[in-house]
Amino acid sequence: MTNLKKKSELIFLTNLIMFSSLFITLSINLNAEYKKISNEEFSCKSNNYRFSMSPDGTYLAIMSSPREDVCDIHPEKRSYVEDEWGQMSLSMMTMETMERKVLLNGSPGNSIDPRSFDWLSDERFVYEPQAFNEVGRSINALQTFAMNADGSGRKALLEYKFGAEGLRGFSIYNMNSDDDDTVYVFWNNRRPRVPDMYKLNIKTGVPKLVARGPDLDSREVIYNVWTDKDGMPEALMTDVGLQRVIYTYDVDSKKWSEHYRYTCQYPHFTPVVIVDDEKENKRLWLVSGQKFDKQRNVIEDNDTNSLYLYDPETKEFSDTIYKDDRYDVGGYTGGCRPSGGISATVDPDTKRLTELTYVAEEPKRIYFDDLYADEDEESDEIKFTTRQLRESLESLFPNDWVALSTTDNNNTKGVFRVYNSNNPGDYYYFDLLKGQVFMLYQIKPWLDRDVLVKKEVINYKARDGLMITAYLSKTKKKTDKNYLVILPHGGPNVKEGFGYDGWTQFFANRGYNVLQPDYRGSTGYGRSHYMKGNRQWGKAMQDDLTDGVLWAIENGYADADRVCIAGGSYGGYAAMAGAVFTPDLYRCVINFVGVADMRDLLKGFGSRSSRFNTWEDEGRLEWGSDKGPGADKYISEISPLLHVKNIKAPVLISHGSNDYVVPVEHARSLRSEMDKYGKTYEWHMQAYEGHGFFGELANLEHYDVQEAFLKRYLEN
């Protein structure tokens, strides 16, 4: 019997055993009756969990908050949540016996407890301690340690340094298959903004230089670095103004050189992962974007990012590997903003690409590991492909999404997360060889998954014919009217999420349908959809929201006189724009940390937000500028603060005093204008919060205020 056939039969048996044992306990009651979820339950923070399986599957490392994961609101606003919530303990579970040993207990103020974890070999790992919480820092908090799985042999490795330009530390980017005593690390000890590459001895802590990072302009910031399977740098990409620059490294000369440069909102390509062409014995790049000839002329100007293989030596592209006509397959939408994400899975032994996951209306996966099945030699060792592993696990949860948290090198055991818009996340341990699955932890275990609602993907046409994708969450509560909250996302140049969203669930649980559109300017839908949002704040971007409300009314999800608009950051701007530009459409408005004064926003926004900001130029391109001909006219047209007299609906103004992204002056100026024109509003300010509320008590008060506001103005 061939090894591949053994795998196939074993997978069938495993699926059968696992499904039979879990069918009753994992089935979901899709017709669960409505039940009110308390504001406390929405506000409580759940513990943090991280998992890492040793390469050979002997051990499972578990990092978790050292507190009981229960819903209890922390009463101190200044400290936000219990100290233990931010700490991490480290336990090691031996999978053969299921015995668990606590190596680091995560007690508050204990600076040697972990904040990150990586396996170095089957028996040894490295961890970074958390920064000391008290005044000053312990010397241990500036070290990184290696330790054996049984807790012995702790050894300090490289040292961290804190300075004016940021943290100088290191991160592991590759294991060394030829030597279990060394790993490859990025270390920015020489220059804070640019890492060098080293081979680090995990027993002695001695680093050996592999390659230096490039010399960069003072405004140039590294986005990503790609290395080959042997730990040598291959390429890196930087951001400088509206341009992205890809550099390549020459091993012989030990020098970096510019390979390719493109401008934001023009055709482009960016590496996703480095792959080996084993037949030709050369390295290729799997790239996302458009296809070019050797002279950098565009020959396939597809609107959405597609995947190609690219030879950096000859500058030749392959035929299209994969394309999605609706969604970007990773990369940067329009070459500017992240498309929503793409993750690559690489086999830890062979370094072959096995899987890519990109973001569409839900996670979409492309498998590559089956391509190598006929090339591999026969082996008595059972090893599952990524596709086989996923299909085994996904068969148990056909109505949810499954994400692998960690596995051993053979994909036979590990931890996976089950999640959805109505599930913040459940973590399970699996062992395919034993047909074993059991739950480890839940995120927010106090929330009843059957009571939460699932988002549905809908599409509607804007008035100019542009197709808008949106998520619709329908309330389970029986109401005498059809209430709707339209909830535009912040950003604005990001993509709406398909996972759990507490704010959406709060609205739906209170009896309101929720619509969340990816209006023009959103990323992930190709260059055209994104660029149609250029300088369209309060204009076509706002029309997309209006057209979404009209779609909901026409299709019976909203009564025309029972619609509220709510949002945070840009979403708060959109809420105010709705209030001043379409005042008859909305019965109420919730403005959470929202932009009110475009004059202030466009005045050096990026420089105020971050010392090393690299995207102020993108903001001017997308949002508009306060400089040049027509700037004053443009700002006056789209700034809600200058049109408060148009408002008819009551407005909830909610902000944090420590907001450095959208300063609190936006809210205070808006309040003054509301008073000036005698408009109805409610004021909610949190003294210790910033751009969004973090603390449990602050969130509870925010939900309480919103609930009362909606009852008063949307339902009455």
- Please state the φ and ψ torsions of residue 311, each to the nearest 5 degrees: -100, 110
Dist CA 112 CA 89 (whole Å): 10
SS3 425: strand
* pLDDT greater than 70 at residue 693: yes
Close Cβ partners of 48 (under 8 Å, ≥ 6 residues apart): 63, 64, 65, 85, 88
Q: Is the pTM of this model over 0.85?
A: yes
Q: What is the pLDDT of residue 109?
A: 58
- pLDDT tens figures, 414-456: 999 999 999 999 999 999 999 999 999 999 999 999 999 999 9
Structure tokens at 475: 């309330």
Q: What is the pLDDT of residue 421?
A: 97
* pLDDT greater than 50 at residue 5: no
Q: What is the pLDDT of residue 250?
A: 95
* pLDDT greater than 80 at residue 165: no
- pLDDT tens figures, 324-350: 999 999 999 999 999 988 888 888 777
Please state, for a pLDDT cut of 70, what percent of the chain lies above it: 89
Neighbouring-strand partners of residue 401? 419
Structure tokens at 204: 């002695």
* Helical (H) or strand (E) element with 277: strand 269-277
Residue 433, exposed/middle/buried by CB under 10 A (0-12, 13-18, 19+)? Answer: middle
pLDDT band of residue 142 (cuts 50, 70, 90) is low
* pLDDT greater than 60 at residue 300: yes
Neighbouring-strand partners of residue 431? 413, 436
Q: What is the pLDDT of residue 616?
A: 78
Q: What is the pLDDT of residue 192?
A: 82
Q: What is the pLDDT of residue 347?
A: 81
Q: What is the pLDDT of residue 605?
A: 61
- pLDDT tens figures, 166-217: 667 778 888 777 787 888 989 888 888 899 999 988 888 889 999 999 999 8
Dist CA 205 CA 219 (whole Å): 33
Structure tokens at 22: 């879990």
Dist CA 573 CA 638 (whole Å): 10
Neighbouring-strand partners of residue 174? 184
The answer to whether 123 and 61 are in contact (CB under 8 A) is no
Q: Taking the CA of residue 708 as centre, how many other CA atoms within 13 Å lie in the half-sphere pointing to its CB?
A: 10
Q: How far is CA 289 from the centre of its chain?
A: 21
pLDDT band of residue 613 (cuts 50, 70, 90) is low
Closest CA to 707 of 594, 601, 564: 564
- pLDDT tens figures, 465-493: 999 999 999 999 999 999 999 999 999 99
CA distances from 447 to 32, 139, 422, 451 (A): 14, 41, 9, 8
- pLDDT tens figures, 15-25: 544 544 454 34
* pLDDT greater than 70 at residue 527: yes
* pLDDT greater than 90 at residue 393: yes
B/e letters for 577-605, b = 16+ CB within 10 Å, e = fewer, are: bbbbbbeebbbbbbbbbbbbbbebbbeeb
Position of tokens 């420089």?
A: 607
Q: What is the DSSP letter of 322?
A: B
Close Cβ partners of 201 (under 8 Å, ≥ 6 residues apart): 181, 182, 207, 208
Mean pLDDT of the chain: 89
Q: What is the pLDDT of residue 12?
A: 44
User: Highest mean pLDDT range out of 75-89, 275-289, 512-526?
Assistant: 512-526
Q: Which domains does the chain have, with CATH numbers?
A: 455-715 (3.40.50.1820)
Neighbouring-strand partners of residue 460? 468
CA distances from 414 to 52, 371, 681 (A): 8, 24, 52
Dist CA 242 CA 330 (whole Å): 19
Overall average pLDDT of the 46-57 stretch: 95
Neighbouring-strand partners of residue 102? 91
By mean pLDDT, which of 117-126, 401-410, 614-623 is the weakest? 614-623
